A and B are shown apart, each in its own frame.
Chain A
C-alpha cells in the first residue's frame, strides 16, 4: 500500500489552489513523508510560510501552521523557535519570497545557524502574481516583466546559503521525489539552519513563456539537467552550463546552533543573578541597624 497522506492533510481546505501539474504538490508530499520519517509528532511541529503559491502549502498540512507576510516567514519562525527550542520548526518558501523580499532574512538566518529547516521551491518565476521574473530566473528568461528577456543574473541559492553560514545545504528537484524526501529528512534532522533548494516547475507562468508549456515535459527537462554533486565536481565549466548539482552540497556539524548557544547564555545569566542576589542579601544582613 502507498503512503497514507490523509492524517497529514486538512480535507476542509481541499481542493488546493495550485495549477494542475504544479510541482509544489510533489514537494509537499515529500515534506510530509520526510516529517513522518523523522518520527515527528504533528503537535510538536510548526510549518511557516510567507506569501506566494508555495506559501499556501501550510494551509493544507495538518500541524501548527502559520501563513505570514511576504518574505518574512523566517522571522516569524525564528520567534517560534526561540520560545520553543525543543519543537520542530520548518519553513516552506518560494524563490521570490525567500530570495528577493526575504533575501535579508535568508542570509541572516543562515548566519545565525538557528535550528530551522527551510525548503525553497525554486521555479524561477513569480507564479501567483502573474509570471514576473524572480532573482532565480535565468538570464534571458521571458516573463511578464521581462518581455525582451531577463537582464538580471540569477542567484545560486545554495552557494548563497553556504557563504552566509547555513550548516546543511542541499539541492533536489521535482523529477525525483524519493531523493528529495531524503534530502528534506536529513535537513529536518540536522541541528542547525538547513536549506533545501528544490528545482521546481511552473509550466503555467514560466513554462508557457519559455518553451515548456507541458508540466510533465518541464519536470523531465528539470530532471535532465540535474547532476549528482560528486559527478558535478568532475565537469568542465562548459559542461556545467545549463546544469545544476544536486544532493548534499554542504554540511557543518561544528558551528554552534543558535538556540542551544542561547540556552548557555541564559544559564550563565541566571547563575550570575543568583550570586548577586545572595551577595546583596548578605550585605543587608551585616548592615548595622540604625535607629531612627
Chain B
C-alpha cells in the first residue's frame, strides 16, 4: 500500500482485508485459493498486530468451521475463498445459517465449473451463494464494484452479519481483487455503523436461538439440528416450520433496510443497463459514450445482490423500453431480471463473457445501440 495526497493505492484484496479490520474483525481462518489468497496473506501480517488471530486451516471446510467457532467465542470472524472453495464451505455455511452465527465470507469469483479458470475473472458463484446449501434460508450477498464501495460494503457486511445473526457474503471477482487503484479511505460516516458485538441488542429479535456468546455464563447449546427457541433439538413440526420461516423472513422482511443499489443517469433513461460487480465499470464508459451519441441510457447496479431488488427492478422495467444485462456468466443476473420483470414486455439484451476476460465498453455500447434500434 502506498499513500499520496490523501489518496491511497491498494490492490482490491488488501483493501478488503483492511476494511475488515476497520469493521472490528479480529479473526481470520482460510485456505489458500486463487484469486483470494492475498486477503489471507495480508491478514496473516496485520491481525497479530492488533491482537487478532490468523490461522491457515487444513482445508476450506475446516476454515469455515474455525470461523464459526471463533464467532461463537465472541470474535467478528472472516474467511475468504473462491468458487471451488465456496462449494466446499457450503456444508458449514449451512450450519451458520441454521445456528445463526454471524460471520463474513469474501468470495473472489473465478471461472468455473470445477477448477475452471483459477486466475481469471468471472461472476459464476452468485447462484451458489444463494442456493448452495441445502434447506430453506435467506442470504445476504453484497456485490460492490469500485474500491471505495468495496471498502464500505465490506464494513457493512460485518454490520449486517451482527444485526441479522447470519453469514454475509461479499462477492467480488478477480478484476476487483487484483486491480490496484487510487482511492480515498472512507470516513467513519461513509463506513456506517461500526460497533462491537455486544452492542447489537436489536439482533435479539433476529435470533431464533438464545442470543449470547460462549463463556458468558449462559451454558448455551448450539446445534445444526432443528431447534426450539431454547436452542434444544426438536422434531415438533409446528416449531420446526416456524423456525425455518424465521430464517427466511427475518431477511425478507428487512429487505428495505438491506437493499442498496447504484443508479447512474437513470432519470430519463430509455435503456437501462442492469449489471453488477466489475462489468459495472465497462458499463459506465459505455453509457457515457451512448449519451454522447444521443442514446438515453443509464445504469442500475444492485450492490445488495441478495436479497434481490425484485420490486425496484420491476418498477425500473416499467419505466424503460429496453434492458441490457452485461455479466461474466451466461445469464445468472439476466434470469433474476426476467423473473423480476414478470409479464412486462421488455426486451432483455444480454452481454455475456465466460472466457475469463473482462467485458469491454465497446461490447456494452454495441448492445446498447442494438437495443436502441429495437425500440
A contact residues vs B (CB 8 Å cutoff)? 10, 12-13, 42-44, 46, 48, 58-59, 62-69, 72, 74-84, 87, 104-105, 108, 262, 265-266, 268-270, 272-273
Contacts and interface: CB of A to CB of B under 8 A. Distances in A.
Given A59-B223, A64-B219, A72 B48 contact: no
A46 B215 CA distance: 8
Contact of A64 (B27, B50, B57, B214): B214
Contacts of A104: 58-59, 62
Interface stretch (B4-12, B64-72, B184-192): B64-72
Contacts of A79: 27, 29, 65-73, 77
B27 A67 contact: no
Nearest to B27: A83
B70 A262 contact: no
Nearest to A88: B215
Contacts of A273: 49-50
Interface in B44-87: 45, 48-53, 55, 57-59, 61-75, 77
B91 interface: yes
Contacts of B53: 82-83, 262, 266
Residue in B45, B52, B221, B223 whose Cβ sees the most chain A Cβ within 10 Å:
B221
Contacts of A59: 221, 223, 232-233
Nearest to B98: A69
B32 to A, nearest CB: 14
Contact of B219 (A63, A83, A266): A63
Nearest to A111: B58
B196 interface: no
Given A64-B219, A105-B58, A266-B51, A46 B214 contact: yes
A102 to B, nearest CB: 10
Contact of A270 (B48, B215, B225): B48
A78 B65 contact: yes
B116 interface: no
Nearest to A82: B53
A13 B219 CA distance: 14
Given A79-B29, A80-B214, A66 B61 contact: no
B227 to A, nearest CB: 9
B8 to A, nearest CB: 15
Contact of B55 (A42, A67, A78, A87): A78
B221 A58 contact: yes
B264 interface: no
Contacts of B355: none
B197 to A, nearest CB: 11
Given A80-B70, A104-B59, A270-B51, A44 B215 contact: yes
B230 interface: yes
A198 B233 CA distance: 26
A75 B214 contact: no
B224 interface: yes
Contacts, number: 147
A74 to B, nearest CB: 8
Interface of B: 26-27, 29, 45, 48-53, 55, 57-59, 61-75, 77, 91-92, 94-95, 214-217, 219-225, 230, 232-233
B225 A108 contact: no
Given A44-B215, A64-B214, A79-B29, 14 more contacts: A43-B216, A46-B214, A59-B223, A67-B233, A69-B94, A72-B61, A75-B62, A75-B92, A79-B72, A80-B70, A82-B70, A87-B73, A108-B57, A268-B48
A212 B221 CA distance: 35
B224 A75 contact: no
A66 B65 contact: no
A69 B95 contact: yes
A42 B219 contact: yes
Contact of B49 (A64, A68, A270): A270
A76 B223 CA distance: 12
A43 B215 CA distance: 5
A55 to B, nearest CB: 10
B69 A76 contact: yes
B70 A83 contact: yes
A10 B219 CA distance: 10
B55 A272 contact: no
Contact of A82 (B27, B92, B214, B216): B27
Contacts of B55: 78, 82
Contact of B65 (A58, A64, A75): A75
6 contacts: A68-B68, A72-B65, A75-B57, A80-B73, A82-B55, A266-B52
Nearest to A62: B219
B217 A83 contact: no
A78 B73 CA distance: 11
A199 B277 CA distance: 54
Contact of A75 (B26, B61, B220): B61
Contact of B69 (A12, A63, A75): A75
B58 A82 contact: no
B95 A68 contact: yes
Nearest to A270: B49
Contacts of A63: 219
A78 B215 contact: no
B219 A43 contact: yes
Contacts of A78: 55, 57, 62, 65-66, 69
A108 B56 CA distance: 11
Contacts of B222: 65-67
Contacts of B65: 68-69, 72, 74-76, 78-79, 105
A64 B66 contact: no
